[in-house]
Structure 1
Amino acid sequence: MHDRTTHTAPTRRDYVKYGGAVVGGGLLAGCTGDANRESTTPSTDSEPADGSEATEDGSYTASISPMGEVSFDAPPETVFTRLTHHAGMAFALGRGGSITAMHAPDYYDGLWNQFVDRLPGVSLDWTGLYSSWEPSKEKLYELDSDIHLADPAWITKQDNWDRADIDEIGTAVSPWFGNSLSDRHAEPPADYAAGYEYYTLWEQFERVAEAFQEQERYEALAAIHDDLLSTIEANLPAESERPSAVMLASADIEQIYAYTLDTPGFLTAHTRPLGAKDAFEGAVESNSVVDFEMLLEADPDVVLLLGGFEPETSLPERREAFRNDPVGSEITAVQNGRLYPQGARYQGPILNLFQLEMTAKQLYPDAFGAWPSYDEGPYPEIPDDERLFDRQRVADIINGEF
């Protein structure tokens, strides 16, 4: 049963409202162009992302699918999120401490800080926040956030939410402004199917930056991202010389999940630009359960282990489980010691920079410098002359000192 509690008291956010326009048809943004590049330039088939308009009273609008055009009286100060790509966007814009909710906050606080540790003068603390994987409407009233940086199309996939609930929160508390189904170009529910658009990670980040009126921060970070992609593209080996690879996640060897490296969507924003060969050759879909026999048949040159940076995860134990299994030990990647840690697929812009650099080194050490030996702790120190982006510059942008 849906929560139908009626809230009739005046809201303090009468100044924040939906503009009413829904982003119209067009082709799916992010599907055109070079498939190996996470472009920061919106597709010409989608509504321009630089259409934020300010009025004489200081209010302005920003637009994103599936909400369409949203009006703001002032930049949001407190931020509700559900998935960590949105939390990562707020963090990149200097709002990491303004988040009121997120999925598995303690887990992702530990994981994110393994990377944040390498950004001078930047700190992050998400511990103890409301865990919003299955948010309640009453809790959103209680949190009273200035923006819901989450996708209502995804929220309504839960049994306790429908379109009326979304509209109620968007009017009585604050707008929704997020897009999650671009993760793997998933099909939206019927209420949001018409005109739903897909974005790359950085296309969506640009729109989120407009909602916060932080276009300069976005442009500065996008320039770093573009330079990093240019470096990668200029130094990639020929396709015939690239290794085969798989990405895996497992709590134990009894249930191993495989994830694709090059399918559409921002979940592959750190692997697709690197163009490694899919060891499964398309025979295994993302989020499929595989066993050692299937892995040996695919016989990848490189295995990327999701969650390998999470502080409570023992990377040495994961590697040992492969080496101790009579089948797993025969896999080429295991025999050559090429089992490497990964962070998270629901990455924000900052994690994306680190993971692009990390994965480039793991796949192509001759081209980008070897990935250091790593068992635990923060992202390893990379020699200055082997870094693929400037940590101090990124830190300055996050801190607003650029």
Structure 2
Amino acid sequence: MGDRDDRRRSTRRQYIAGGGALLGSVLLAGCANSGDETPDGATTDGEPTATDPAADETPTPAATDQSTATATDSGPHTATLSPVGEVAFDSVPENVFTMYNQYADMLVALGHGDAVNSMFVPDMAGPTMNHYYERLDGVSFDWEGLVNPYDDFSKEFFYGLESDVHFLDPAWAVTQQNWSRSDVEEITENVGPFFGNFYSGTRADPPEAYAGDYQYYTLWELFGHVADVFRERERYERLNAVHSDLLSTIETDLPPEDERPTAVRVTLGDGQFWTYHLNRPGFWLADTRPLAAVDAFGSEQWDGLWGSVGYETMAEADPDVILHLWGMTPRYDMASVREQLRSHSVGQSLSAVENDRVYAQGMRYQGPIMNLFQIEMTAKQLYPDVFGEWPGYENGDHYPEIPAEEQLFDRDRVADIVTGN
């Protein structure tokens, strides 16, 4: 409260009034042909398909270079993350820049959601995050008025926000127009440090200047490093234990490989399907990889993160299940998506359409809380006979209520950790 909230409100008023035009629906046309998966100059250059077989969903113990301080310690401390190295903080940050939504979700999980001053497409991500938080007593996220960094990715924008820390990968930043390492150093020196890791999302190669010592992290490892910035190691460990328990439940009950359905993760738009892999490395797949469904396009090698196929190619693959990415966001109407499929001469013959197994999915930019819900959601959509029926999702609704005996993780346990009860 006080000066901190006054500065935040002032910053929001200043930039929401002068922000550039939103990228619009093209952002999500497959996640979107755009920027929404890789706003690296709105191209997919430099993002080859990952081939590292390492499992990204498996949590690992905290790294030895991470702080063990608790939230009661508010003085100087350090946190470490590749590619930035060790970063010193005088105190816990109170005004925080985030680009991608996984970082905003991490801050909410750590009890610091009110520190966020910016976020990628807040009017899409904010309501979606709150769809999940609705099922956690006392947890919510105030996203209205947050600015979208992608509207004005300039040094002046960063100066105006006056952030204590920027959850942004400098290796990604230098791929943007009019940005260089010297610009990153200038903002670090005059505003606040960078602290982010983008290329772990897909295990893609970082820019050559950062390639030598670039380290890849799982989603939950990255979350642990962010927790160190806020001296929230205990809260992180407790949430990580929930995640470990969820994975254990999934792994114990997962059917044999020959009994698993074929599936695709797609976004439908303009007569084609933007297609994504299910089981490759990278934390953008942290909600589908643990379920190990048979990827109907698993053998496809695309130039970038995604590919696109027409109805005929989709019919040849004929997956048992269609997982529609971004279906739970305000940008897509799943009733309309299903109607497009049913009204198409080829689409109506797809097994997933005939068997009513076209499901709304969430966001690839997921932090830890979102990841818990999205793993549970995907488990029920793929294996209803094992993990319980998915209740369905209606446009604009919150994450559906699921009876306690059918939940795959304890909502009260998560809510108590996040709220500090």
Kindly provide the amino acid, as one letter, of the partner of residue 359 in structure 1. T
Q: Aligned partners of 1:96, 1:58: CA distance in 2, in Å?
A: 20
Please say if residues 83 and 213 of structure 2, whose CA atoms lie closer than 8 Å, have aligned partners that are also in contact: yes
Tell me whether 1:398 sits opposite 2:414 in the alignment.
no
Q: Aligned partners of 2:79, 2:256: CA distance in 1, in Å?
A: 41
Question: What is the CA-CA distance between 1:312 and the residue it aligns to?
Answer: 4.4
- Per the alignment, residue 104 of structure 1 pairs with 121
Residue 78 (structure 1) aligned to one of 95, 102, 107: 95
Residue 41 (structure 1) aligned to one of 33, 44, 61: 61
- Per the alignment, residue 149 of structure 1 pairs with 167
Using structure 1 for the length normalisation, give the TM-score: 0.87
CA separation of 1:57 and 1:389: change in aligned 2, threshold 3 A: closer
Please say if residues 97 and 126 of structure 1, whose CA atoms lie closer than 8 Å, have aligned partners that are also in contact: no
Question: What is the CA-CA distance between 1:50 and the residue it aligns to?
Answer: 2.9
Map of 1:208-219 to 2, 5 A cutoff?
Answer: 208-219=226-237
Cα shift readout 1:46-80 (whole Å, capped 9, x = no counterpart): x63535679x9942111000000111111111110
Tell me whether 1:50 sits opposite 2:66 in the alignment.
yes
- Per the alignment, residue 368 of structure 1 pairs with 387
Residue 378 (structure 1) aligned to one of 357, 373, 398: 398
Kindly provide the amino acid, as one letter, of the partner of residue 365 in structure 1. P
Tell me whether 1:354 sits opposite 2:373 in the alignment.
yes
Please say if residues 53 and 61 of structure 1, whose CA atoms lie closer than 8 Å, have aligned partners that are also in contact: no
Structure 2 gap segments, 5+ residues each: 1-50
Q: Aligned partners of 1:231, 1:382: CA distance in 2, in Å?
A: 17
CA separation of 1:281 and 1:148: change in aligned 2, threshold 3 A: closer
CA separation of 1:396 and 1:52: change in aligned 2, threshold 3 A: closer
Please say if residues 248 and 304 of structure 1, whose CA atoms lie closer than 8 Å, have aligned partners that are also in contact: yes
- Per the alignment, residue 35 of structure 2 pairs with none
Q: Aligned partners of 1:240, 1:49: CA distance in 2, in Å?
A: 42
Kindly provide the amino acid, as one letter, of the partner of residue 336 in structure 2. E
Question: What is the CA-CA distance between 1:95 and the residue it aligns to?
Answer: 1.5
Residue 238 (structure 2) aligned to one of 220, 241, 248: 220
Please say if residues 56 and 282 of structure 2, whose CA atoms lie closer than 8 Å, have aligned partners that are also in contact: no
Comparing 256-265 and 312-321, the one that deviates more: 312-321
Structure number with the higher helix fraction is 2
- Per the alignment, residue 119 of structure 1 pairs with 136
Q: Aligned partners of 1:53, 1:360: CA distance in 2, in Å?
A: 35
Q: Which secondary structure state, in structure 2, belongs to the residue aligned with residue 100 of structure 1?
A: coil
Cα shift readout 1:167-190 (whole Å, capped 9, x = no counterpart): 111111111111111010121112
- Per the alignment, residue 276 of structure 2 pairs with 259
Q: Aligned partners of 1:116, 1:53: CA distance in 2, in Å?
A: 27
Q: Which secondary structure state, in structure 2, belongs to the residue aligned with residue 40 of structure 1?
A: coil
Q: Which secondary structure state, in structure 1, belongs to the residue aligned with residue 117 of structure 2?
A: strand
Kindly provide the amino acid, as one letter, of the partner of residue 278 in structure 1. D
Q: Aligned partners of 2:392, 2:343: CA distance in 1, in Å?
A: 20
Kindly provide the amino acid, as one letter, of the partner of residue 95 in structure 2. T
Tell me whether 1:326 sits opposite 2:345 in the alignment.
yes
Q: Aligned partners of 1:59, 1:151: CA distance in 2, in Å?
A: 23
Please say if residues 101 and 366 of structure 2, whose CA atoms lie closer than 8 Å, have aligned partners that are also in contact: yes
Q: Which secondary structure state, in structure 2, belongs to the residue aligned with residue 130 of structure 1?
A: coil
Kindly provide the amino acid, as one letter, of the partner of residue 189 in structure 2. T
Comparing 127-136 and 378-387, the one that deviates more: 127-136
Q: Aligned partners of 1:256, 1:398: CA distance in 2, in Å?
A: 37
Question: What is the CA-CA distance between 1:397 and the residue it aligns to?
Answer: 1.5
Q: Aligned partners of 2:69, 2:134: CA distance in 1, in Å?
A: 36
- Per the alignment, residue 223 of structure 2 pairs with 205
Q: Aligned partners of 1:87, 1:347: CA distance in 2, in Å?
A: 9
Cα shift readout 1:193-228 (whole Å, capped 9, x = no counterpart): 220011000010001101110001100100100000
CA separation of 1:71 and 1:51: change in aligned 2, threshold 3 A: same
Question: What is the CA-CA distance between 1:149 and the residue it aligns to?
Answer: 1.0
CA separation of 1:70 and 1:53: change in aligned 2, threshold 3 A: farther
Kindly provide the amino acid, as one letter, of the partner of residue 297 in structure 1. E
Aligned length: 365
CA separation of 1:142 and 1:238: change in aligned 2, threshold 3 A: same
Please say if residues 52 and 63 of structure 1, whose CA atoms lie closer than 8 Å, have aligned partners that are also in contact: no
Q: Could you list the structure 1 runs, at least 4 aligned residues long, displaced by more than 4 angstroms after superposition.
A: 30-33, 51-54
CA separation of 1:397 and 1:353: change in aligned 2, threshold 3 A: same
Cα shift readout 1:345-377 (whole Å, capped 9, x = no counterpart): 110000000000000000001110010132221
Cα shift readout 1:6-42 (whole Å, capped 9, x = no counterpart): xxxxxxxxxxxxxxxxxxxxxxxx9676x27432336
CA separation of 1:383 and 1:52: change in aligned 2, threshold 3 A: closer
Question: What is the CA-CA distance between 1:191 and the residue it aligns to?
Answer: 2.3
CA separation of 1:192 and 1:147: change in aligned 2, threshold 3 A: same
- Per the alignment, residue 175 of structure 1 pairs with 193
Please say if residues 65 and 196 of structure 1, whose CA atoms lie closer than 8 Å, have aligned partners that are also in contact: yes
Q: Which secondary structure state, in structure 2, belongs to the residue aligned with residue 101 of structure 1?
A: coil
Map of 1:236-275 to 2, 5 A cutoff?
Answer: 236-250=254-268, 252-275=269-292
Q: Aligned partners of 2:220, 2:317: CA distance in 1, in Å?
A: 32
Q: Which secondary structure state, in structure 2, belongs to the residue aligned with residue 102 of structure 1?
A: coil
Tell me whether 1:290 sits opposite 2:309 in the alignment.
yes
- Per the alignment, residue 294 of structure 2 pairs with 277
- Per the alignment, residue 104 of structure 2 pairs with 87
Question: What is the CA-CA distance between 1:284 and the residue it aligns to?
Answer: 5.1
Please say if residues 119 and 395 of structure 1, whose CA atoms lie closer than 8 Å, have aligned partners that are also in contact: yes
Q: Aligned partners of 1:71, 1:188: CA distance in 2, in Å?
A: 24
- Per the alignment, residue 360 of structure 2 pairs with 341
Residue 330 (structure 2) aligned to one of 311, 336, 351: 311
